[in-house]
Chain A
Amino acid sequence: MSKKILALLLGLIAILAAIVLLKRNKPSADHITIGILQTASFPALDDSMQGFISEIKKELGDKVIIIEQNAQGSIMQAQAIASSFKANKSISGFYAIATPAVQALKSEIKTRPITFAAVTDPIGLHLREEGSNITGATDMADIEKQISILKILLPNVKKVALLYNPGETNSVILVKQMKIALEKYGITYQDNGANSQADVAAAAQHAVQNAQAVLIPTDNTIASAFPIVRQIADKANIPIIATGTAEKEGPLMQFGVDYFQSGVQAAQLMKKMLVDGIKPMDLPIVAPTSSIIISKKALEKYGLEIPDSLKDSVSLM
Chain B
Amino acid sequence: MLSFLPVVVGILERGFIGAFIVMAIYLASRVMKFDDFSIEGTFGLGGAVVAWSLLHNTNPWLALLLGCIAGGISGCITGLLHTKLGLNKLIAGIVVTTMLFSVSINIGGANVALGNAPTVFSALHNSSFASLILLASMALAVAFIFIWYMKTESGFILKSTGINEQFVTSLGKSVPLYITLSLIMANALSALAGGIFVQYSGFFSAFGNVGILIAALAGCMIAELIAINMFIMALFGSIIYQLIIAITIELQVEPSWQKLITGLLIVVILVVKKLENKKIKGSVAA
Contact = CB atoms under 8 A, between A and B. Distances in A.
Indicate if A touches B (C-beta under 8 A). Answer: yes
Contacts of B16: none
B197 A76 contact: yes
A103 B203 contact: yes
B226 A125 contact: no
Contacts of B109: 169, 172
B10 A86 contact: yes
Pairs of residues from A and B, 8 with the lowest C-beta to C-beta distance, nearest first: A83-B10, A169-B111, A70-B255, A87-B6, A167-B206, A74-B211, A126-B115, A75-B208
A166 interface: yes
Q: Counting chain B CB atoms within 10 Å of each CB, which of A5, A68, A73, A88 scores highest? A: A5
Interface of B: 1-11, 13-14, 18, 101-102, 105, 109-116, 197, 200-203, 205-212, 215, 226-228, 236, 239-240, 242-247, 249-252, 255-256, 258-259
B250 A166 contact: no
Most buried by B among A12, A129, A195: A12
Interface in A72-86: 72-77, 79-81, 83-84, 86
27 contacts: A1-B226, A1-B227, A9-B236, A13-B243, A15-B247, A20-B7, A41-B256, A70-B255, A72-B259, A75-B209, A77-B211, A77-B258, A79-B201, A81-B249, A83-B6, A86-B6, A99-B205, A100-B111, A106-B202, A107-B201, A107-B203, A127-B113, A166-B105, A167-B101, A167-B110, A167-B207, A169-B111
A75 B239 CA distance: 17
Contacts of A73: 207, 210-211
Interface of A: 1-2, 4-5, 8-9, 12-13, 15-17, 19-21, 23-24, 41, 67-77, 79-81, 83-84, 86-90, 99-100, 103-104, 106-108, 124-127, 129, 166-169, 171-172, 195
A20 B250 contact: yes
Given A41-B256, A73-B211, A103-B202, A13 B8 contact: yes
A23 to B, nearest CB: 7
Nearest to A24: B3
B51 to A, nearest CB: 12
A36 B97 CA distance: 32
B3 A107 contact: no
Contacts of B2: 89
Contacts of B18: 76
Contacts of B259: 72
A75 B205 CA distance: 8
A41 B209 CA distance: 17
A212 B243 CA distance: 53
A220 B105 CA distance: 17
Contacts of B10: 80, 83-84, 86-87, 108
A83 B14 contact: yes
A130 to B, nearest CB: 10
Contacts of B256: 41, 70, 72
A80 B249 contact: yes
Contacts of B226: 1, 4-5, 8
Contacts of A103: 111, 113, 201-203, 205
